[in-house]
Amino acid sequence: MMNFKNPDSTDLHFFKREYQPKFLDNGDVDISHLLHVFQNLAGDHVEALGLGEDFKKENQFFYVVMRMKGYFLSSLNKEEKYTIITYPMQASGIQMYRYGYILNKDDEPVFYLSTLWILMDSVNRRIKSTKVFRNKLAEVLPDIDGVEPLTEETLENFSIDEYDFKYVKDYQVIPEDIDSNGHLNNTIYLKMSQPLLGDVKVKTFEIDFEKECFLDEKIALSLARENDSYIIRGDKEDHSLSFKIKINA
């Protein structure tokens, strides 16, 4: 595992900015807001690397996150301002990792996030090779292959077959939930799910994004519990699985 360093602002391998956390009524960190900040920071980073909107249009693709996992290493405070940092790894054949972490005022890590992405063809919405991404990233950052992963852990699809789920409520996708890719923004899955836990304080969370959701779709949310683990699934109206989240308290 690499060091959680506070990189120099001129090092284009990393992107960072100040982060002021938001909190839910139960005092827990608003994870949807945290992911929104991370998403915007990552978006600004790919633009700075020349991998943003113009590059995507030219090469007929958009970025889609498939899995993510976050760990709170310590509690965050309302009065404190933090630094959020993100950086990418070089891509493999069809996928790529991007990491994020949060440092407190003493440059100590309080949270880290691993995310797994693919490129999706913007016309037929099928997975594309990452070749154009790999070539461009190597051009901008010639030493990108030497960048270390934040963690050796890989993000694997986790099973939920063994859990006994109980339906909780429906969630209707509204226009504000839709991102520039035309589907439900990845930050909304925690927005609809975290409140289902009541007063539970999240220590870790893991998300698998299974199937896209679109405007006006209705998602059935169901919850299961095993000891300190809470599992949430979202099913589309055709009964196909849209997403699954595992949260440890």
Secondary structure of 133-163 in the HEC alphabet? HHHHHHHHCCCHHHCCCCCCCCCCCCCCCCC
Q: Per residue in 37-58, pLDDT tens?
A: 999 999 999 999 999 999 999 9
Tokens in use for 154?
């890989």
Q: Is the pLDDT of residue 36 over 60?
A: yes
Model pTM score? 0.94
User: pLDDT band for position 88 (50/70/90)?
Assistant: very high
Tens of pLDDT along 120-174?
A: 999 998 999 999 999 999 999 999 999 999 999 999 999 999 999 999 999 999 9
At a CB cut-off of 8 Å and minimum separation 6, what does 142 contact? Answer: none
* Predicted pLDDT at 2: 61
CA distances, 193 to each of 46, 68, 190 (Å): 28, 15, 5
Checking if the pLDDT of 1 tops 60, the result is no
Number of residues assigned to the chain: 249
Would you state the CATH architecture of domain 15-146? Roll (3.10)
Q: Which two tokens stand for residue 17?
A: 């900015």
Where in the chain is CATH 3.10.129.10?
Answer: 15-146, 166-248
Question: Nearest Cα to 98, choosing from 75, 68, 137, 123?
Answer: 68
- Please provide the distance, in angstroms rounded to a whole number, between the alpha carbons at the two ends of the chain: 24
- Kindly indicate whether the domain formed by 166-248 is annotated with CATH number 3.40.1160.10: no
- The lowest-confidence range among 2-6, 118-122, 185-189 is 2-6
The percentage of the chain sitting over the pLDDT mark of 70, rounded to a whole number, equals 99
